Amino acid sequence: EPEVTQTPSHQVTQMGQEVILRCVPISNHLYFYWYRQILGQKVEFLVSFYNNEISEKSEIFDDQFSVERPDGSNFTLKIRSTKLEDSAMYFCASRQTGFSNQPQHFGDGTRLSIL
């Protein structure tokens, strides 16, 4: 069964450094998402992406965050100047169409640890 793949599985970064999290969505999916989950808390929506542009973003997704689809397969989340509170699991998800009754499929996540 096709999967969403994320790399790296664990990223350790010094505060203030830039970090890029990578995702390869399922190949025939058109809608892409990033979520984060701080330890012990709920999964929170960050941003959605369709047709090479941001469709929706939450209040968490401020100017330090950016997303990009640099080629036909990768979807990246960049955090420009990391803060301690950015430590979390980051999940990429994809959905085949824009119909809300289609489920989103999640990758295994990247654990980001900011020191």
Partner 1 sequence: QKEVEQNSGPLSVPEGAIASLNCTYSDRGSQSFFWYRQYSGKSPELIMSIYSNGDKEDGRFTAQLNKASQYVSLLIRDSQPSDSATYLCAVNPPLGTGGGADGLTFGKGTHLIIQP
Q: Note the residues at the interface with partner 1 (CB under 8 A).
A: 31, 33, 35, 41-50, 55-56, 58, 89, 91, 97-101, 103-109
Q: Which CB, 2 or 16, lies closer to partner 1?
A: 2
Q: Is the peptide bond before 8 cis (omega within 30 degrees of 0)?
A: yes
- Tokens 């096709």 — which residue? 2
Q: How far is the CB of 43 from partner 1 (least distance, A)?
A: 4
Q: Taking the CA of residue 92 as centre, how many other CA atoms within 13 Å lie in the half-sphere pointing to its CB?
A: 29
**Considering the complex, what minimum distance in angstroms separates the CB of residue 23 from partner 1?**
12
